[in-house]
Amino acid sequence: MSIPIIPFTEGEANLDWIGLTDALASGHTLPKAEIGDTFLYRGKDTLLSRAAWIDGLGIAVKSATIFPDNPAKDMPMVNGGLNLYADGDGTLEAIVDFHLVTKWKTAGDSLLAARRLARPDSRNILIVGAGNQGRALHAAYSAAFPDATFTLWNRSPANAEKMAGELPNITVVQDLETAVTEADIITSATMSTDPLIKGAWLRPGQHLDLIGAYRPDMREVDDEAIQRARVFVDSFDTTIGHIGEINIPLEAGTISRDHLIADYYELDAFKRQSADDITLFKNGGGAHLDLMTSRYILDRWTAQA
């Protein structure tokens, strides 16, 4: 039997944002994933492999090559692929494009939280950051909030204008503070190490979705935002001890561990207590989400074959 190789464009044509979030929710009803990461280096080049095994779903190994000199050759800096293995016998079931899995996993991770935490009547969605992930977030949130309009803020106005020119229903804004105060949902995907979004700007009823920070020195919101919000994460294992957004206020004593209400293994806790809650979700990623996403991709690929 031939092993399917699922490329980006053909694979994406079969996918649905709401369907993916339902698959992620279902994946978290299974036994908790075992996760392992490995790193190999050659000078400034890196091979990162992330593996996950979920009993009842299978095994995934996603390998990423990071070659910083590639952009000078007009090549992507990050490349890779994902191998998906069968749960029952460990046989290779599919090879899936790295960028396809990463795009849908990351935005879908955030959308699952927003579908449960954001107010259903949310109409103004602010995207902070005009990179590839900002484009994916526009697509994901459009699926769950079809009547919403989008505003976009980016450090570089030229990049924001470029993104707005490529996608519908987006207005570029220059004043981040005003944009935050007017938004119902704020979704941020930047590489910031200094908080961009201030807690003093927030108002009751908002939902914050934080994606960009992935290192201990990175954060997109300040302590006051964390303190004012009811805080949720996708996984305690991939956020606590790993990401500055969570670690810095914990280590400073600004918040205590019980300020983090739940992760996706307690999905029933992902709910508002009132319409005035400020909710905050930290998207930490993780190989278990890559596994759930790639299984959804393969299922859709097979169904459309």
> Is the pLDDT assigned to residue 213 strictly greater than 90?
no
Say what the pTM is: 0.94
**Mean predicted lDDT score pLDDT of the chain:** 95
Length of the chain: 305
How far apart are alpha carbons 200 and 204 in whole angstroms? 11
Q: Comparing C-alpha atoms, which of 66, 55, 122, 125 is closest to residue 90?
A: 55
Across the range 218-224, mean pLDDT stands at 94
Decide: 89 and 50 in contact? Cβ < 8 Å.
Answer: no
Q: How confident is the model at residue 242 (pLDDT cuts 50, 70, 90)?
A: confident
Q: What is the DSSP letter of 63?
A: E
> Is the pLDDT assigned to residue 305 strictly greater than 80?
no
DSSP 245-300: HHHHHHHHTSS-GGGEEE-GGGGGG-S-SSTT--EEEE----HHHHHHHHHHHHHH
Across the range 179-186, mean pLDDT stands at 98
CB atoms under 10 Å from CB of 185, counted, come to 26
Q: What percent of the chain has pLDDT over 70?
A: 100
What local confidence, expressed as pLDDT, does residue 215 receive?
83
Across the range 54-58, mean pLDDT stands at 97
- Reduced 3-state DSSP string for 165-221: HHCCCEEECCCHHHHHHHCCEEEECCCCCCCCECHHHCCCCCEEEECCCCCCCCCCE
> Is the pLDDT assigned to residue 18 strictly greater than 90?
yes
What local confidence, expressed as pLDDT, does residue 1 receive?
63
> The tokens of 235 are what?
């996984």
Q: What percent of the chain has pLDDT over 90?
A: 89
Q: Comparing C-alpha atoms, which of 282, 274, 270 is closest to residue 220?
A: 282
What local confidence, expressed as pLDDT, does residue 218 receive?
87
pLDDT tens digits, 259-280: 999 999 999 999 999 999 999 9
